[in-house]
């Protein structure tokens, strides 16, 4: 019961934070910043190469 209650609180907190980010217009800005940083560090290319190596792409 305690685990379920904590999970419920976690989900409520996540929803509240997500809603605030949307209201403030920060969610999209943060998504774009993350996307740019992942591209900048080569993560996207590394993931693509990994997937090709595994036959996923």
Q: Give the whole-angstrom CA distance, residue 47 versus residue 41.
A: 12
pTM strictly above 0.85: no
Residues in the chain: 57
Residue 21, classified by CB atoms within 10 Å of its CB into exposed (0-12), middle (13-18) or buried (19+), is middle
Q: Give the whole-angstrom CA distance, residue 3 versus residue 6.
A: 5
Please give the chain's pLDDT, 57 residues, in tens. 667 888 899 999 999 999 999 999 999 999 999 999 999 999 989 999 999 999 987
Q: What is the DSSP annotation of 12-56?
A: HHHHHHHHHHHHHTHHHHHHHHHHHHHHHTTHHHHHHHHHHHTT-
């Amino acid at each position: 019961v305690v685990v379920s209650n904590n999970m419920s609180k976690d989900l409520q907190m996540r929803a509240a934070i997500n809603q605030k980010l949307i209201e403030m217009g920060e969610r999209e800005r943060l998504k774009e910043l993350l996307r740019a940083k992942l591209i900048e560090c080569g993560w996207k290319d590394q993931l693509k190469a990994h997937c090709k190596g595994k036959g996923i792409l």
